[in-house]
Amino acid sequence: QAGLTQPPSMSKDLRQTATLTCTGNSHNVGNQGALWLQQHQGHPPKLLSYRNDSRPSGISERFSASRSGNTASLTITGLQPEDEADYYCSVWDSSLSGWVFGGGTKLTVL
Amino acid sequence: EVQVVESGGNLVQPGGSLRLSCAVSGFTLSNYWMNWVRQAPGKGLECVATINEAGSDKFYVDSVKGRFSISRDSAKNSLYLQMNSLRVEDTAVYYCGRDLFDYWGQGTLVTVSS
């Protein structure tokens, strides 16, 4: 089943800003709210953002999400060492009737 | 406090069966959609099955249709994944995730190998 497209890797300097992208189509990102997950090695994923721009309680304001057309974005400001992780986007696909995930972006903080 | 605990993972031969369980506490299972998501070694996330609050609607990724079955028992506050005709490519950590993936368990490892 068709998934979402994310760049496989990104490297940014400490305290800089990273913008991760997630491209889908009109049946998923363009139609539904995307969510973003962070996963550290050996741990389950953690929800960072849902319905495009809502943050669960306890998630830092340094994480913000948005959408433009068929592309969702996650912006992380003031990068910290603990932000080094894999980031996944996901959205309910109305044509597939199921959750689809991006392949993940591995963020390295230099 | 919300808790999600998966169990049932094991080593199984190709063609075999396993039943995964997900015990939840801290919320009422019947109020939420629930999902099973897997992650093959070194790979990304894949949602294999989703069930609605009432258990009346079930959704599966194409690769498991006809082989996997998701179910729930609200009285036991538990979610299940019955996996039949297992293949080597089903090898993964299987996670139970609530609704919009706001809560996850630690996962249970399924290894399909001869």
pLDDT at B13 over 80: yes
Which band of pLDDT confidence, cut at 50, 70 and 90, is reported for residue A64? very high
H-helix or E-strand spanning residue A98: strand A98-101
In the chain, the amino acid numbered B74 is: S
The pLDDT value recorded for residue A51 is: 82
Give residue-wise pLDDT tens across range B40-96.
999 999 999 999 999 999 999 999 999 999 999 989 999 999 999 999 999 999 999
User: Mean pLDDT over residues A59-69, rounded?
Assistant: 94
Alpha-carbon distance A81 to nearest alpha carbon in chain B (angstroms): 22
pLDDT at A93 over 60: yes
The pLDDT value recorded for residue A20 is: 97
On the CB side of A107, CA atoms within 13 Å amount to 29
φ, ψ dihedrals at B60, nearest 5°: -135, 145
φ, ψ dihedrals at B74, nearest 5°: -65, -30
Give residue-wise pLDDT tens across range B98-112.
999 999 999 999 999
A57 lies within 8 A of chain B by CB:
no
Pairing mode of beta strands A71-76, A63-68: antiparallel
Q: What is the mean pLDDT of chain A?
A: 93
DSSP codes of every residue in B11-34: EE-TT--EEEEEEEESS-GGGS-E
pLDDT at A103 over 60: yes
Spell out the residues 6+ positions from residue B101 whose beta carbon is closer than 8 angstroms to its own. A35, A37, A45, A47, A50, A90, B35, B37
User: Mean pLDDT over residues A81-94, rounded?
Assistant: 96
The chain A residue lying nearest B4, using CA atoms, is A44
Alpha-carbon distance A94 to nearest alpha carbon in chain B (angstroms): 12
φ, ψ dihedrals at B35, nearest 5°: -135, 150
The chain B residue lying nearest A6, using CA atoms, is B44
The pLDDT value recorded for residue A2 is: 57
Percent of chain A at pLDDT above 90?
81
User: Mean pLDDT over residues A72-85, rounded?
Assistant: 97
Q: What is the mean pLDDT of chain B?
A: 96
Alpha-carbon distance A32 to nearest alpha carbon in chain B (angstroms): 12
Give which of A28, A54, A86, A99 to mutate to test B binding, by max B Cβ within 10 Å.
Answer: A99
User: Mean pLDDT over residues B18-28, rounded?
Assistant: 96
Helix and strand tally (H, E) in chain A?
A: 0, 9
Q: Which of A46, A98, A103 sits opposite B47 (nearest CB)?
A: A98
The pLDDT value recorded for residue A1 is: 52
Task: Compute how many other C-beta atoms are within 10 angstroms of the C-beta atom of residue A82.
Answer: 10
Q: Check CB contact under 8 Å for B59 and A97.
A: yes
Q: Which residue has the tokens 């300097």?
A: A13
